[in-house]
Amino acid sequence: MKVSAILTVSAMLAACTTAPVALPPTSLFNDHLFRAPPERISSDDVFAVSDAMRHFLNTELAGQLHARGQQQGFVDALFTKGQLKLEYDAAITRNAAQAFAARAGNCLSLVIMTAALAKEIGLPVRYRSVYVDDTWSRAGDVYFSIGHVNLALGRPAMEGGGFGRTGTDTITLDFLPPQDLRGMPALIIGEETIVAMYMNNRAAEAFLRGHLDDAYWWARAAIAKDRGFLNAYNTLGAVYHRHGNLPQAEYALGYALEREPKNAHIMSNLAGVLGEMGRVTERDALKARLAQLEPNPPFVFYNRGQKALRDGDFRTARAMFAKEVDRAPEYGDFHFWLAVAYVGLGDMGPAREQLDLAIKTSANRSDRDLYAAKLARITAAQSR
């Protein structure tokens, strides 16, 4: 039986420490338990600029960069005029060259691609972890907490990291609607953390596919790149757990929890490990702490809504899915299931509205196509 895992990815906040962090103990890693990675895992590849990217800068953008100045010309060409025609797609995390070739990516991928292009023409870049409310997604028994990063071009009015606004001579580039982030605090983070986020995302994606050997090496590389990035330790512990290495999973998750004692994601994963090890008293104590921190955990109303649908209770289903939509309005699947509940009640107008929102908030192309097809079917049936 597979136990649920919670992973934190940076598709669109990711926890990172700002104080100096000691080197993790070598006993955290157990390379002998996993096969060698089939592909190269190197931080050099994350921001590497391809020939196609250089050609784009030197030909299509050259005139605009000269006419408008590098900073404003770069922003106008890539975003205002939409020459790249970028599409949001959270299906996989891409490096700079891959995102450019696909003209698509999640927010982390698009930040990496944009930063690589900007640095190639000499523009200063700063990375920002934006503190937004948790967004969740789920695939089977794997739960993903999704965060958000963006970047600022140009030199800040005051150098130095920490919280605060960018300077007046900088331009912040974001891949979410600006109104979603208005007034949101942000933490300036280093490029090593961005690389660690990328590697942790790759680990989480490999984990989801069942490629645990790959997931281990990506998580290990993320920790090596930024040992203060605790999400990677959480991923490493989840990999050990799913791989059947319970003592190693307990050690990795316990190590992370010591450094962030109120991290609900790490706590939940560790509780699952302790339960499988038969340490029921410790598990229950951890679950009690978790319940105090998180009385209504992710997807609790969704699960109640699904049960109500199975029971044919569409009113309760509508109420439960509406609760999930209220706390996670950017998650397309909640809008979709709310639409299903409305269909069950015969309320086709609200069902169409929710399907339209599902299309607008879906994280990848395949989901958008699925929701669009269902919306077309409902619209066609009503027009007969």
The reported pLDDT for the residue numbered 363 is: 67
Nearest to 363 by CA among 47, 3, 9: 9
First CA to last CA distance, the chain: 48
> What is the per-residue pLDDT for 98?
96
* CA distances from residue 63 to 58, 67, 74, 76 in whole angstroms, order as listed: 9, 6, 10, 12
pLDDT tens sequence for the chain (384 residues): 344 566 665 543 333 343 445 678 889 999 999 999 888 999 999 999 999 999 999 988 887 777 777 888 888 877 765 677 788 887 889 999 999 999 888 889 999 999 999 999 999 999 988 876 667 677 777 777 777 888 989 876 544 443 334 444 788 888 765 445 555 677 899 999 999 999 999 999 999 999 999 999 999 999 999 999 999 999 999 999 999 999 999 999 999 999 999 998 899 999 999 999 999 999 999 999 999 988 888 788 999 999 999 999 999 999 999 999 998 887 888 999 999 999 999 999 999 999 989 888 876 777 777 788 877 777 666 555
Give the CA distances from residue 104 to residues 36, 175, 268, 358, in Å, rounded to whole numbers and listed in that order: 30, 11, 33, 19
- Residues with Cβ within 8 Å of 179's Cβ and at least 6 positions away in sequence, in order, are none
Angle between helices 348-361 and 365-383 (to 10 degrees): 160
pLDDT attached to residue 167: 46
Contact yes or no for 341/301 (Cβ under 8 A) = no
pLDDT at 6: 65
Token reading at 343: 């269909």
Residues 6+ apart with CB under 8 A from 211: none
Q: What is the structure's pLDDT at 179? A: 45
CB 148 within 8 A of CB 107: yes
C-alpha 175/C-alpha 343 separation (Å) is 33
Domains of the chain: 1-298 (1.25.40.10), 300-383 (1.25.40.10)
pLDDT value, residue 23: 72
